[in-house]
Amino acid sequence: MSRETLRVEGMSCGHCVETIQKAVGEVPGVRKVDVDLEKKEVSVELEEGKSPLKEVTEKIREAGYEVVSA
């Protein structure tokens, strides 16, 4: 299991957290999604050997947020 953290702009409330958790949680290989509003970070727990960061980034953008760095 590995963990990756992305910096995301535009998240402001619990609704944003839910939206992102739902969108990113749908990506195959993602086990868990944690959002830190204060740090503007989305961290994902990934299944061993999986690296779906590109898809995670796309999902976040589709949901209307900006991924600043991965």
- Which parts of this chain interact with Cu ion (CB under 5 A)? 12-13, 15-16
CA 35 to CA 54: how far, in whole Å? Answer: 18
Q: How far is the CB of 21 from Cu ion (least distance, A)?
A: 12
Cβ distance to Cu ion smaller for residue 11 or 56: 11
Query: Which of residues 2 and 14 has its CB atom nearest to Cu ion in the complex?
Result: 14
Q: Whose Cβ is closer to Cu ion: residue 12's or residue 51's?
A: 12
Smallest separation (angstroms) from Cu ion to the CB of 13:
3
Shortest distance (Å) from residue 5 CB to Cu ion: 20
Q: Which is it for strands 30-36 and 66-69: parallel, antiparallel or unpaired? A: unpaired
Residue 6 class from Cβ within 10 Å (0-12 exposed, 13-18 middle, 19+ buried)? Answer: buried
